[in-house]
């Protein structure tokens, strides 16, 4: 079965994370970066998670998981060290029609986390349909070398240019062709040359 690739807007949406260990900590960081509201269900949590709760960046219910904990959730992450708890979270999510990921437990997942290369707003996600996370990690490392940090700045420039063209009175097809040209490898290499060029000393033409 093929997976459907998707990037989800989570801003202001409630995501429940069950488990307070290091694995949960990593998931929470990404969720907060995406603007999600996070509810943590765990009797104990890492110091970093506790600090996030103390600063009101997430809601921590210091307790064992119960089905009612998923009330109002748009997404669920089961990140405990107990297969039985992870399965219980998945089954409750299934009953409530909520998408669930049980970390490293492909049988109790509606979706998988991909290996991600991120350069600002450019995100490249790699999935092997759960068959080989090791391969996904290898491909991610290769793409990190191929897509340098400069892509983040270049994408900001491309986005600003696109908005300027859309606000103008130019022909739609001409603007489309221009944007495709600006996004070409040739233009990126030109962008690199311009941004990496060292400033000349004053008085030198």
- Which of 28-32, 54-58, 111-115, 201-205 has the weakest average pLDDT? 201-205
Do the domain assignments include residue 204? no
Shared domain check, 105 and 166: no
| CATH code, 82 | 3.40.50.720
Residue 25 phi, psi (nearest 5)? -55, -45
Encoded tokens for 15: 């995501």
The answer to whether residue 198 scores a pLDDT higher than 60 is no
Same domain as 104, residue 15? yes
Q: Are 62 and 74 part of one and the same domain?
A: yes
Instruction: Determine the Cα–Cα distance for residues 161 and 173; give it in Å rounded to an integer.
Output: 16
If asked whether residues 87 and 6 sit together in one domain, one would say yes
Q: Give CA angle at 185 (179, 191), nearest 5°.
A: 80
CA triple 75-80-82, angle to 5 deg: 125
Supply 4's token pair. 């459907």
Residue 74: DSSP 8-state: S
Query: Do residues 64 and 43 touch, judged by C-beta distance below 8 A?
Result: yes
Tell me whether residue 201 is in a domain.
Answer: no
> Is there a single domain that holds both residue 107 and residue 9?
yes
Residue 118 structure tokens: 């991120």
Instruction: Tell me, yes or no, whether 52 and 142 share the same domain.
Output: no
In a domain, 203, yes or no: no
For 136-194, the pLDDT digits (tens) are: 999 999 999 999 999 999 999 999 999 999 888 888 899 999 999 999 999 999 988 88
- Residue 202 belongs to a domain: no
Residue 81: inside a domain? yes
Q: Has residue 23 been placed in a domain?
A: yes
Structure confidence at residue 2 as a pLDDT band (50, 70, 90): confident
Do 175 and 135 reside in the same domain of the chain?
A: no
Cβ–Cβ contacts within 10 Å for residue 102, how many? Answer: 25
Specify whether 120 is located in the same domain as 107.
no
Measured over the CA atoms of residue 21, residue 23, residue 29 and residue 35, the dihedral's sign is: negative
Looking at the structure, tell me whether residues 102 and 118 fall in a common domain: no
Clarify whether residues 139 and 173 are in a common domain.
no
If asked whether residues 91 and 138 sit together in one domain, one would say no
Contact present, 91 and 18 (Cβ < 8 Å): no
| Residue 101, burial from CB neighbour count under 10 angstroms (0-12, 13-18, 19+) | buried
Q: Does 60 fall in a domain? A: yes
The whole-number average pLDDT for the span 10-20 is: 97
Domain encompassing residue 15: 1-113
Query: Residue range 88-110: average pLDDT?
Result: 94
Q: Confirm whether pTM is higher than 0.75.
A: yes
| Whole-number Å distance between alpha carbons of 135 and 131 | 9
Strand (E) or helix (H) holding 176: helix 172-182
* Token output for 52: 């996030």
Let me know whether 11 and 106 are in one domain: yes
Number of structural domains the chain divides into: 3
Residue 8 lies in a domain: yes
Q: In whole angstroms, what is the distance from residue 128 CA to residue 26 CA? A: 21
* Model confidence pLDDT, tens digit, residues 63-76: 999 999 999 999 99
């Amino acid at each position: 079965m093929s997976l459907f690739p998707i990037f989800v807007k989570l801003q202001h949406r409630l995501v429940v994370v069950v488990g307070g260990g290091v694995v949960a900590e990593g998931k929470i960081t990404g969720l907060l970066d995406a603007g999600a509201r996070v509810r943590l269900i765990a009797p104990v949590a890492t110091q970093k998670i506790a600090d996030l709760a103390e600063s009101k960046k997430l809601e921590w219910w210091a307790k064992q998981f119960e089905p009612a904990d998923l009330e109002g959730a748009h997404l669920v992450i089961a990140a405990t060290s107990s297969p039985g708890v992870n399965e219980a979270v998945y089954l409750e999510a299934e009953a409530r029609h909520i998408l669930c990921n049980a970390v490293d437990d492909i049988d109790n997942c509606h979706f998988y986390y991909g290996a991600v290369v991120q350069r600002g707003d450019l995100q490249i996600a790699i999935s092997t349909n759960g068959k080989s996370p090791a391969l996904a990690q290898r491909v991610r490392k290769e793409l990190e070398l191929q897509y340098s940090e400069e892509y983040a700045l270049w994408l900001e420039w491309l986005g600003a240019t696109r908005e300027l063209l859309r606000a103008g009175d130019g022909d739609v097809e001409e603007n489309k062709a221009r944007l495709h040209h600006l996004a070409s490898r040739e233009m990126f290499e030109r962008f690199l040359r311009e941004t990496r060029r060292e400033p000349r000393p004053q008085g030198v033409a």
